[in-house]
Amino acid sequence: VLRPEGHGSSRSLVCSLCATEWRFKRVRCVACGEEEFERLVFLTTEEFRHVRINACDTCHTYFKEVDLVKELAAVPVVDEIATMPLDVVAVERGYRKLELNLIGM
């Protein structure tokens, strides 16, 4: 989740099972710790402008990031499920999801 902070935003991760939230560095793979920007991939669509896929070319893992700066009324748990077409795009490009969501997808 990206939240407004100062003149920008901060990143927090939210557990898909218990909803615990903690801060995490913005330019880093959450699965393997890769920090080389060229190895990190960001996929977006016009349909879901406030949600993007963050993927890593090192470990081939992805997760979704909900940008509360772009859409303050977004609900990350709901958007995780509503944006399943983004999962299709990521899987077609060879990435696997970091963790399943509440409905096991």
Percent pLDDT > 90 in the chain is: 58
Q: pLDDT tens, 52-87? A: 999 999 999 999 999 998 998 999 889 999 999 999
Between vectors from CA 52 to CA 51 and to CA 56, what angle results, nearest 5°?
155
- So what's the pLDDT on residue 5? 76
Amino acid 34 reads E
3 state SS for 50-72: CEEEEEECCCCEEEEEEECCCCC
- So what's the pLDDT on residue 26? 81
- So what's the pLDDT on residue 94? 98
Which of 17-21, 34-38, 59-63 bottoms out in mean pLDDT, i.e. has the lowest?
17-21
> What is the Cα 58 distance to its own chain's centre?
16
Q: Please report the DSSP string for 75-101 in residue order.
A: -HHHHHHHTHHHHHHHHHTT-EESS--
